[in-house]
Structure 1
C-alpha cells in the first residue's frame, strides 16, 4: 500500500482529523515546491520510516502533490492546493447573472473543463497502470464538458431566448435554479469522468495493506462518495451567497447603496468555496472501506476482518 494511503489509514479515520489534515495540505505555498523537492520528500517516506514531526513537511508535499496509485507527481494546476486559487474566479464568474448567453457559456466552459481535468487527474487509476488513455475516456471528457457547459448556461439561455422580464421568474432562474443545477452538474462531471472505475474496478487491499484484487463494487462506491462530496461543494457555494444576498438586500444599507450587492455576492461566493473545499474533501475517508457482503464473491474470502480497503481518489 502506498505511503500516502497508510498515512490516511492511521491519521484520517474521523471527519475532524481529515479536516485538520486538509486545512494544512491546502496551503497554496506548497505549490512552489519543485518536482525534485517532492521526489526527495517522497523517497524519505518510501524508505519505510515511521512519520515523525521532522517529516511533517515531507508528508505535506507527498500528500498534496503525489498520486497515491501511480506515485507520480501531480501536475501543479491539478493539485489540491491549486483548486481554490484557480476555481474561485471560475465559480464566481459562472454564478454571475450575465447579460448575454455567450459570457455564460464561456465561463461555464472554463469551469467544467477545469473540473474535468481535476477529477480525471485525481481519480483512482489503480486498474490503468501502464495503459494509455483510451479513446472512450477522451470522448467521455469532451462529452461531459460540452453537456455540462450547455446545461450550466440554461438559466441565461431561457431568460434571453424567451425574453423573460417578470421579476419572480428572473429571481427563480438567476438565484434559485443555479443552486440545484450547480450541485447536479458537479456530480455529473465526476460520475462521467470517472465512470471507468465503476466499469473496470479499482484495487482493494486487506488489513495488512496487501493488494488482493480489483473490485467494481469498490469503484462504484468510490465514485459515488466523491460525486456526493463535489455536489455538496458546488451546491453550498451557489446557495449561501444567494441566501445572503436575499437577506442583505432588505437592509437599509443595501437599499441606499445598491452597488454593494455585486462585490458582496462575489466575495461571499469565494469565501464559501474556500471554506467548503476542505469540508467536502473530508466528508469521506481517502482510504475507504467496503464491507464483505458488498464485495464480489471472489473477493469476500480476502476480507478476513469483514471489510477491505480502497483508495477513494479525490
Structure 2
C-alpha cells in the first residue's frame, strides 16, 4: 500500500477524459449534490490532503480511496485555476438543488408578467453567480464589467420572456409553457460571453501538453466559451422542454385538479430529477481541458510558437471553464 500511495498522482484523472463516458463519470463525481452539504472544515481537510499528496508527503495510513474522496471534494469546491474555495451557490455541485427550485418555479409560474419577470430575474442572478464562479480565473473581470454583464443578460431574458409571453397569448397552451426555455437559452448566449468578456478581448492563456505557457489566444477563448454556452443550454433543455409536456398531461387528470397547490412542488422535484442527470451530461459534452490546433490560432501567436518550437507543437491546451 505504501508503494502505491507514494506513486499516486492526485491530479491524474480517475477516468479517461478523452472519452464522453470517462468525462461523464468524472462529472457525476464532482457535481454530486451531496458534496454541497459537506462542512467547510471537511473541505479544508480535503484540500490539505490533496496539497500534501502533491508535495509527496501523504500521511501514513492514508488509503487510495481516501485520496480519491479528498480529490472529489477538492474538485467540487475549489477553483481549478486558483485553488481558491468557490462560493457555495456558484459550485456545479449546487446546480441540482439551486437549479431545480428556480427551474420548477419558472415552469409553474409562467402565466403572468410579474411572475415571469421575478423568476427570470432570480434565474439570471443565479446564472451570473455560477458563470462568474466558474470563469477562467486567469482573466480578471472588473465590478463594472460584472454589472454590465448581469444587467444585459437579465434584460435579454426578460425581453425574451415577456415578449414571447405576450406573443403566445393566442397560441396553444404548450407553446406558452416553452417560453421560459427560450428566455433561458437567449440569456445564456449573452450572460456567459459578457461575464467572460475579458477572455474574448484579451485572449485566454494557452499551454503545450506539459502546461508550459505559450501565450494568449482570443480564438481559443471564443471556442471555449461557445462550448460552455452549448453545454448550459443542453443542461436546461430536456427538463424545460419535456417537463411542460408531462405537466400538461398530468394536469388534465381530475385528481391533479384537486391538488393544484402541489403543482409547483411537483415541478420542482421533477426538474431536480432532470438536472441530476443533465448537469454531469452537459458538463461532459466537451473536454474540460480544451485543445486547438496551432494552425487555427491567430497569425501572431502561431508564428511565435513556430519560431520558438518549430513543428514540435501541433496543439495548444486551455481550461474552457464550466
Structure 1 position 136, deviation (Å): 2.9
Residue 8 of structure 1: CA displacement?
4.7
SS state at 1:267 partner: helix
Say how many residue pairs are matched.
298
- Return closer, same or farther for 1:204/1:44 CA change in 2, 3 Å cut-off: same
Runs of 5+ unmatched residues, structure 2? 1-8
CA 182–259 in structure 1, closer or farther in 2 if over 3 Å, else same: farther
| Aligned counterparts of 2:225 and 2:163: Cα–Cα separation in 1 | 26
Partners of 1:27 and 1:116 in 2: how far apart? Answer: 21
TM-score, length of structure 2 as denominator length: 0.81
Question: What corresponds to 1:237 in structure 2?
Answer: 239
1:201 aligned onto 2:203: yes
Match of 2:283 among 255, 278, 281: 281
Deviations for 1:203-230, whole angstroms, at most 9, x for unmatched residues? 1110212111111111111100000001
Q: TM-score, normalised by structure 1?
A: 0.83
Q: Could you list the runs of 5+ residues in structure 1 that have no partner in the other structure?
A: none
Q: Is the 8 A contact 2:102 2:123 kept in 1?
A: yes
Q: In the alignment, is the contact (CA less than 8 A) between 2:156 and 2:186 conserved in 1?
A: no
Partners of 1:41 and 1:61 within 8 A in 2 = no
1:312 CA displacement: 0.9
**Which of 298, 303, 306 is the matching residue for 2:314?**
306
Give, in whole Å, the separation in 1 of the partners of 2:218 and 2:57.
Answer: 33
Q: 3-state DSSP class of the match of 2:194? A: helix
Instruction: Sort the Cα spacing of 1:64 and 1:104 in 2 relative to 1 into closer, same or farther, 3 A.
Output: same
Task: Choose which of 141, 154, 158 in structure 1 pairs with 2:163.
Answer: 154
**Cα pair 1:112 1:149 within 8 Å, conserved:** no
Q: CA deviation at 1:25?
A: 1.3
CA deviation string 1:33-58 (max 9, x = no partner): 32532431341243268994441012
What whole-Å deviation, never above 9, does each CA across 1:271-297 have from its counterpart, x for those lacking one? 112221111111111111111221123
From 22, 30, 50, give the equivalent of 1:25: 30
With 279-288 and 72-81 compared, the bigger mean Cα shift is at 72-81
The residue number in structure 1 matching 2:6 is none
Quote the RMSD (CA, aligned, Å): 2.9
